[in-house]
Chains A and B, each alone.
Chain A
C-alpha cells in the first residue's frame, strides 16, 4: 500500500514537473503560438452583439476587479501578455468588437490553454469586455508589440 502511494505521489509530481517544463519550452515560441486567429472565428451573430453594460462606470470598476482576479495571472497585470498567454493590448484585441471578445471569453481557446470562462455569469463577462479597452490607457509606452498575424 505504501509503495502504491509513493508511486502515485512521484507520478503526479513528475507529471506536474514535466508539464511545466514543456510549458517553459513552449514559452520561447510564444510569439508564434499566440496568433489571435481565434478572435476572427467569432460568428457574425456573436460579433454583432452590443455590450449591455456600455457606459456603466460601476460595471467598469467591477470589470477591473474581475480582470485582476481571473485574467492578470496569465495575461499580466497590465494585459501585456506573458509566456502563458498573449498580450491584451495588441491592436487586434483593443479594436475587436465587444461581441467577439465576449464570444472568445465564453468559449476559451481550450487547445491552447485558455479555459472557457462561461463559469462567470454573463454580466461579469460583459464587465470584463468593458474593461479590456481601458488597458490601452494604462499600458506603458515600452510595452512589447505582439505579433497580431
Chain B
C-alpha cells in the first residue's frame, strides 16, 4: 500500500513540477472510450476516485493512478495502479493493469474502430469498477478485504472501441470480452456506451478557463452481459452515469460522474471524479535524458 500511495505522491509532484505548454481536449467519459488516442510522445498522468455505496458491507473509496503514453499516432499504452479503502476495514493495493489501444484505420470513417487489449493482475478486492463484465454484482464487493485480497486474477481483456463524431456529438460503443487466464475461467462479456458533446463548438477569441468550449458533458451506460456458461442479463449489474469534464488550457482536466445502479444487483451509487494532466514531449525528454543531453 505504501508503494501505491508513494506512486500517487510522485505522480502528483511530477505533475506540479513539470513545465511546458500542454494540450487538453479530453472526453468526459469515465468508463467508455472514444477512438482518440494520446498524441505521440505525450504522457498523461491521471488520478481517479470511485466512492461506492455497499449493501451488506461497508462503503468504499477505490482509486486508480493511470499513466497513458502515446507511443505512436496509432498506438497508446497505459499502466494502471489500483487500490481501495473499505470503510471500517482497511486500505489495500489491489493490482495493476497494462492497457494497449491500437487504431485500426488510418483515416476517419463513418465508424472508427480501435482495438483494446489489456492484461490485468488484480485481486478480488479490486473495486474501481473501471468496467463491468460477466456476472459482476454488488454482493461481490461485500467480502472483507482480508479474504478478498487472497484471490488474485490474471485476466486478458479485449474491447472493440467504436466511435463516431456527428455535429459536435461523440457517440461511442464498447463491447468487451474478458478471459480469466489464471485461474482459468469462461469468457465474460460486457458493454459500455456513451454520448457527449462540448458545451460550445466554436472557440472563443480570448484565452479563458471558464469558456463554454472548455466544458463537455454527456451520459454513459455500462454493464455485464454474462459469460459463455451463462450468457444473458440475469445476475448482472448495470449503471447509468451522467459525465462532465472541464478542460483547462493549462493542460489539466477535471472529470466528475455520479453513476446510478439500474437494478438490484448494482451499487446504488458510484460517485466518480478524477483529475489528469498531459505532459507534452515526454518521450523526447526521456530520450534526451538517456543520451545525456540536458
Interface residues of A (CB under 8 A from B): 2, 4-5, 8, 12-13, 15-17, 19-21, 23-24, 58-59, 61-63, 65-66, 68-70, 72-73, 84, 106-116, 118-124, 127
Q: Contact check: which of A8, A21, A58 meets B98 at CB < 8 Å?
A: A8
Interface residues of B (CB under 8 A from A): 3, 21, 23, 25, 27, 34, 36-37, 39-41, 43, 67, 69, 71-74, 77, 79, 96, 98, 103, 106-108, 121, 165, 167-168, 198, 201-207, 213, 249, 280-291
A124 touches B203 (CB 8 A): yes
Interchain nearest-CB distance for A91 vs B (Å) = 25
Interchain nearest-CB distance for A40 vs B (Å) = 15
B108 touches A107 (CB 8 A): yes
Bound together, the chains give a CA A130 to CA B45 distance in angstroms of 33
Q: Which of B34, B39, B69, B202 has its CB near the most chain A CB atoms (within 10 A)? A: B202
B77 touches A23 (CB 8 A): no
B37 touches A115 (CB 8 A): yes
Bound together, the chains give a CA A143 to CA B43 distance in angstroms of 31
Q: Contact check: which of A20, A63, A113 meets B72 at CB < 8 Å?
A: A113
A127 touches B202 (CB 8 A): yes
Bound together, the chains give a CA A79 to CA B199 distance in angstroms of 29
B202 touches A124 (CB 8 A): yes
B201 touches A107 (CB 8 A): no
Residues on B with beta carbons closer than 8 Å to the beta carbon of A116: 36, 107-108
B41 touches A123 (CB 8 A): no
B287 touches A24 (CB 8 A): yes
Q: Contact check: which of B43, B165, B280 meets A73 at CB < 8 Å?
A: B280
Smallest CB-CB separation from B7: which chain A residue?
Answer: A5
Bound together, the chains give a CA A127 to CA B127 distance in angstroms of 43
B284 touches A20 (CB 8 A): yes
Q: Contact check: which of A20, A72, A109, A115 meets B283 at CB < 8 Å?
A: A20
Q: List 27 A-B contacts (CB under 8 A).
A: A4-B96, A4-B121, A5-B96, A12-B69, A16-B282, A16-B283, A17-B287, A19-B72, A19-B287, A20-B286, A24-B284, A24-B291, A61-B205, A61-B206, A65-B204, A69-B21, A73-B280, A110-B73, A110-B103, A110-B106, A116-B36, A119-B34, A119-B165, A121-B201, A121-B202, A124-B202, A127-B202
Bound together, the chains give a CA A24 to CA B36 distance in angstroms of 25
Smallest CB-CB separation from A15: which chain B residue?
Answer: B71
Given contacts A4-B121, A12-B77, A115-B37, contact A66 B203 (CB under 8 A): yes
Bound together, the chains give a CA A113 to CA B34 distance in angstroms of 19
Interchain nearest-CB distance for A63 vs B (Å) = 7
B108 touches A13 (CB 8 A): no
Given contacts A17-B290, A19-B71, A20-B41, contact A62 B203 (CB under 8 A): yes
Q: Which of B3, B21, B207 has its CB near the most chain A CB atoms (within 10 A)? A: B21
Residues on B with beta carbons closer than 8 Å to the beta carbon of A70: 23, 25
Residues on A with beta carbons closer than 8 Å to the beta carbon of B71: 15, 19
Q: Contact check: which of B107, B201, B286 meets A17 at CB < 8 Å?
A: B286
Bound together, the chains give a CA A13 to CA B74 distance in angstroms of 19
A23 touches B284 (CB 8 A): yes
Interchain nearest-CB distance for B112 vs A (Å) = 8
A65 touches B205 (CB 8 A): yes
Question: Given A23-B283, A115-B37, list of 8 further CB < 8 A pairs?
Answer: A21-B290, A23-B287, A63-B203, A69-B249, A73-B281, A107-B107, A110-B74, A118-B165
